[in-house]
Homo-oligomer: A and B are copies of this chain.
Amino acid sequence: MAVRQGALVARCPYVSKVQAVVGGRWKIELLYYIGIKGVRRFGAIKRCVGGISDSTLSKQLRELERDGLISRHDFGEVPPRVEYRLTPRGEGFVPVLEALREWGEREFAEDRPL
């Protein structure tokens, strides 16, 4: 149902929060590999995503941790061992990740014509 174009549509606080939390150039992929593929370590995550610098990956992981989607566990070992996992909030995002992947597979499987 098209909105009468003059009518003011209020900004949805949840959609703008979701945009802020999972938006950007990398976070959907990072959540996919950490959450669905069980990739835990910094180096392994970096290899999966490809083309991301160490500093950008660190920043993205810190933001995901700050926003409560992943947790960082330092085992206090030498050499250092640190793992990233989904939090309960992050686990709640897994169905969305699966829906995103399924849509992607449907739409871009053979680069179907529009």
Interface residues in A, total, Cβ within 8 A: 56
Q: Give the CA-CA distance A106 to B3 in the complex, in Å.
A: 26
Judge whether A39 is part of the interface by a CB distance below 8 angstroms. Answer: yes
Identify whether the interface residues of A are mostly helix, strand, loop, or mixed. Answer: helix
Known: A5-B41, A11-B48, A19-B26. A89 touches B104 (CB 8 A): no
Known: A15-B29, A19-B26. A107 touches B95 (CB 8 A): no
Partner of A104, one of B15, B41, B107: B15
Q: A residues within 8 Å of B by Cβ?
A: 1-3, 5-6, 8-9, 11-19, 21-29, 32-33, 37-41, 44, 47-50, 68, 87, 89, 92-93, 95-97, 99-101, 103-109, 114
